[in-house]
Amino acid sequence: MVSACEPGDNLEAEHRAHARTWLLSTDDVFRRVKPATPAQHLVSYVVPVDPATGAVLLVDHINARLWLPPGGHVEVDEHPAVTAVREAEEELGVSTVPVGEPLFLTVTRTVGMDAGHTDVSLWFVLDLRSDQTLTPDQGEFHGVRWWSPAELRSADPARFDPHFFRFLEKLERSTATTA
């Protein structure tokens, strides 16, 4: 899955190389003890995108203190795509179909209250209408919000995952090539 994720830029290529080296060096990619044991582990983001408007749903994450896509740590022996579906159900109350292959891959040192470990994150795109009823996990988020493309262009990048706007660029390129 990591090898199949075609890099959209040089940084993603570096992250993919890092992830491949890491995966070849260990057979344990799962977080065993919160917040950070082992110090590097696998994460699945699921990024809801309204196909009609291009709006993106993000969560105001309590621990990270950032606007992030929903997602979480891959459980022991769980496939990352299954994690993405599970996280959409747990965090948004959305029962969904499988999400397919990840569009994006990042390696990120975490910030916020659980700072200090490294997430190797696979970013899955989920088509979701912005009028769909959600049941957000109020224990993890201050709130959830649909962001229009115009709102995202004018937003302060420091309030988001450090790779989010690169993800959006890759999403826009992939959408343009399939349209």
CA distance 70 to 45: 6
Q: What is the number of other CB atoms lying within 10 angstroms of the CB of residue 140?
A: 17
The verdict on residue 32 lying in a domain is yes
How high is the pLDDT of residue 27?
A: 77
How high is the pLDDT of residue 112?
A: 65
How high is the pLDDT of residue 175?
A: 81
pLDDT tens-digit series, residues 29-51: 766 656 656 677 889 999 999 99
Supply the range of the domain harboring residue 15. 10-178
The verdict on residue 3 lying in a domain is no
Q: What is the number of other CB atoms lying within 10 angstroms of the CB of residue 164?
A: 24
- Residue 72 β-bridge partners: 44
Structural domain total, the chain:
1
The verdict on residue 2 lying in a domain is no
Matching residue, tokens 């950032």: 66
How high is the pLDDT of residue 96?
A: 72
How high is the pLDDT of residue 176?
A: 78
How high is the pLDDT of residue 35?
A: 61
How high is the pLDDT of residue 110?
A: 80
Structure tokens that stand for 65 in this block: 């203190």
Residue 85 near residue 46, CB atoms below 8 Å: yes
CA distance 38 to 156: 32
Residue numbers in the chain where pLDDT is lower than 50: none
